Amino acid sequence: MDTNDKTARVFFALWPDRTERGGLSGWQPPLLACCGGRVMRTDTLHATLVFLGEVEAVQLEALKLAAAEVSVARFELCFDEAHYWGHNHIVYAAPRTLPPQLIELVRELEQNLLRHRFAFERREYKPHITLLRNAHWTDKPLPGMSQVCWHVREFVLLESAASSYRILARFCLM
């Protein structure tokens, strides 16, 4: 973040490594062939945990402290289904099964943020990785995809600027 900026657009996310991103980007060509749209850049693929939006720069250290208080075990996360959200024309990867540690991670992170008086977008958590934007599909199931799994060892605080993301901090899981 530019030190002259007064706010940053931030969120917490799971940030897959190059191998997992490669597996997920392999889903994009067949999905693009059936749904059209715009492919998300491989280097930006992530699963949002909690979206905060604009946060004052002076609050970023407190935000990092709140996240550092999370105490959740590492876990494996597998994305094995592609779905379409018609209301925003997005095709995304989703896990068929939610590891309990993922739900616990989001819950603890939200509780810590509330305790530290941070405002954030509150909605039912549905883990996903956006693969295509501006897509068009029906309610029919999308083609099957090869499972992409990774061992989640950390989560990150990301700043969103234009069409890229910058990691502001990393937080290790137990």
Q: What is the CA radius of gyration of the chain?
A: 16
DSSP 16-41: --HHHHHHHHTTHHHHHHHH-SEEPP
Residue 10: which of 43, 71, 72, 59 has the closest Cα? 59
Per-residue exposure over 72-107, b if at least 16 CB sit within 10 Å of its own CB, e if not = beebebebebbebeeeebbbbbebeeebebbeebbe
Confidence (pLDDT) at 5: 60
Chain mean pLDDT for the chain: 95
Average pLDDT over residues 125-131: 96
The single residue of 87, 89, 116, 128 carrying the catalytic annotation is 128
Average pLDDT over residues 148-166: 94
CA 158 to chain centre: 10
Catalytic status, residue 136: no
The single residue of 46, 83, 87, 136 carrying the catalytic annotation is 46
Is a pLDDT exceeding 90 seen at residue 2? Answer: no
CB 91 within 8 A of CB 132: yes
Q: What is the pLDDT of residues 14-63, one digit of tens each?
A: 999 999 999 999 999 999 999 999 999 999 999 999 999 999 999 999 99
Confidence (pLDDT) at 67: 98
Confidence (pLDDT) at 4: 54
Which listed CATH number (3.90.1140.10, 3.30.300.130, 3.40.50.300, 2.70.98.90) goes with 7-172? 3.90.1140.10
* Amino acid letter, residue 151: H
